[in-house]
C-alpha cells in the first residue's frame, strides 16, 4: 500500500485523478484492484463506517495489502464519511491510509473543533485527512454549495490534506445527470491549491469528471454504480442454468464486472500507467 499523502500530492502535481471505490466485500475489493492493475493505475479502496464495522478494519486492511502486493499496484485505503472516533481509531490502527472527517452538518466552528480533536489522536500516524465543507446532498438531503471563504478558513485551521467540496455533485443518483459548477471548482483550485475530492461521482456527467481532473481533482469517489453492478450481476448470474451456480463462478462474474468498470474509471481519470510513479513506495 502507499501513503495517501503521496498518492494525492503525486496525482496533483501530475494532473491525474485516482478512482476511490466503496467496497463491501472481498470480491469487490479484489475486482477494483485487479481492474486498476490491468492498466497499471493507482487506486483507492474505501469503506463507509458501517462497511468498516461489518467488514472489520483489520480484515479490510489485510485484503487491501494482500491484493496490492499480488497485483503489484499502489493502493490507498480510506475510511469514508467518518465521525465515530472508535471506528476511526480502529481503522487507523489497522493501517488505513486516510480518513474523511464528516462533520458537515455542524457549524463551521464545531467542524474545526471536532476535526482537531480527532487529528490530535491521529498525530504521528501516516494518515491523510479529507475534510468536507458545504453539504453534498442526496435524493433525501439538501445540498449547500461550498462557500470559498469557509473552505479557506477550514483548511487553514485544521490543515487537511484534501478537501471534499459541494460543487454540484450529488450522492446516490441512479443516472449520470449532475453537472459540476466549474466556476466554483476553478476558484477553489486557484485559491486553496490542495487536492480536491469529488463525492457522488456515479451520478456526475462523465465529461465533467474528465474536465475536473484539470482543476485540482485528485480523488473521485464511486459507490452507487458499483452497488448496482453487484445487484445486477448477482441477479442475472443466479438465474443462469445450474452449471454456473458454483459460488466462486458467480462471484467471478462479479469480480470481472467490477474490474472492467474500474479500468474504465482509470481511463476517464487519466491515471493509467501512473503506477510506476509510486514504485519506490510500494510495500
For residue 123, the minimal CB distance to Zn ion (Å) is 25
Q: Give yes or no for residue 5 binding Zn ion (CB under 5 A).
A: no
Exposed e or buried b per residue across 56-87, where buried means at least 16 C-beta atoms within 10 angstroms of its C-beta: ebeebbebbbebbeebebbbbbbbbbbbeeeb
What span, in angstroms and rounded, lies between the C-alpha atoms of 20 and 270?
14
Give the residue with the Cβ less far from Zn ion, 172 or 252.
Answer: 172
Give the residue with the Cβ less far from Zn ion, 199 or 274.
Answer: 199
Q: Give yes or no for residue 199 binding Zn ion (CB under 5 A).
A: yes
Percentages (nearest 5) of helix, strand, coil residues in the chain:
55, 15, 30
Stretch that binds Zn ion, among 112-120, 195-203, 230-238, 266-274 (CB under 5 A): 195-203
Give the residue with the Cβ less far from Zn ion, 73 or 212.
Answer: 212
Task: Annotate each residue in 118-157 with x if it binds Zn ion (CB under 5 A) or - if it does not, as one string.
Answer: ----------------------------------------
Stretch that binds Zn ion, among 137-145, 197-205, 235-243, 272-280 (CB under 5 A): 197-205
Q: How many of the chain's residues bind Zn ion (CB under 5 A)?
A: 1
Q: Which residue is nearest to Zn ion (CB)?
A: 199
Are the C-beta atoms of 188 and 146 separated by less than 8 Å? yes
Residue 164: burial class (beta carbons within 10 Å; 0-12, 13-18, 19+): buried
Applying CB under 5 A, the residues found at the interface with Zn ion are 199
Amino acid at each position: 500500500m502507499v501513503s495517501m499523502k503521496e498518492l494525492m500530492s503525486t496525482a496533483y502535481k501530475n494532473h491525474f485523478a485516482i478512482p476511490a471505490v466503496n467496497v463491501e466485500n472481498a470480491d469487490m475489493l479484489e475486482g477494483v484492484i485487479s481492474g486498476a492493475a490491468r492498466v497499471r493505475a493507482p487506486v483507492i479502496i474505501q469503506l463507509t463506517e458501517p462497511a468498516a464495522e461489518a467488514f472489520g478494519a483489520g480484515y479490510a486492511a489485510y485484503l487491501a495489502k494482500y491484493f496490492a502486493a499480488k497485483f503489484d499496484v499502489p493502493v490507498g485505503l480510506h475510511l469514508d464519511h467518518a465521525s465515530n472516533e472508535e471506528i476511526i481509531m480502529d481503522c487507523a490502527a489497522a493501517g488505513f491510509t486516510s480518513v474523511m472527517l464528516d462533520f458537515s452538518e455542524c457549524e463551521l466552528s464545531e467542524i474545526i473543533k471536532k476535526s482537531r480533536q480527532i487529528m490530535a489522536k491521529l498525530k504521528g500516524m501516516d494518515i491523510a485527512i479529507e475534510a468536507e465543507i458545504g453539504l453534498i446532498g442526496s435524493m433525501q438531503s439538501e445540498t449547500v454549495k461550498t462557500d470559498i471563504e469557509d473552505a479557506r478558513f477550514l483548511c487553514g485551521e485544521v490543515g487537511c490534506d484534501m478537501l471534499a467540496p459541494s460543487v454540484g455533485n450529488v450522492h446516490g443518483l441512479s443516472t449520470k445527470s449532475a453537472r459540476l459548477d466549474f466556476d466554483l471548482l476553478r476558484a477553489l483550485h486557484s485559491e486553496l491549491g490542495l487536492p480536491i475530492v469529488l463525492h457522488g461521482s456515479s451520478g456526475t456527467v462523465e465529461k465533467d469528471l474528465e474536465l475536473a481532473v484539470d482543476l485540482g481533482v485528485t480523488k473521485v469517489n464511486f459507490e452507487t454504480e458499483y452497488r448496482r453492478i453487484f445487484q445486477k450481476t448477482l441477479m442475472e448470474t443466479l438465474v443462469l442454468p445450474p452449471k454456473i451456480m458454483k459460488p466462486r463462478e458467480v462471484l467471478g462474474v462479479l469480480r470481472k464486472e467490477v474490474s472492467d468498470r474500474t479500468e474504465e474509471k482509470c481511463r476517464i481519470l487519466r491515471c493509467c500507467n501512473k503506477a510506476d510513479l509510486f514504485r519506490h513506495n510500494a510495500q
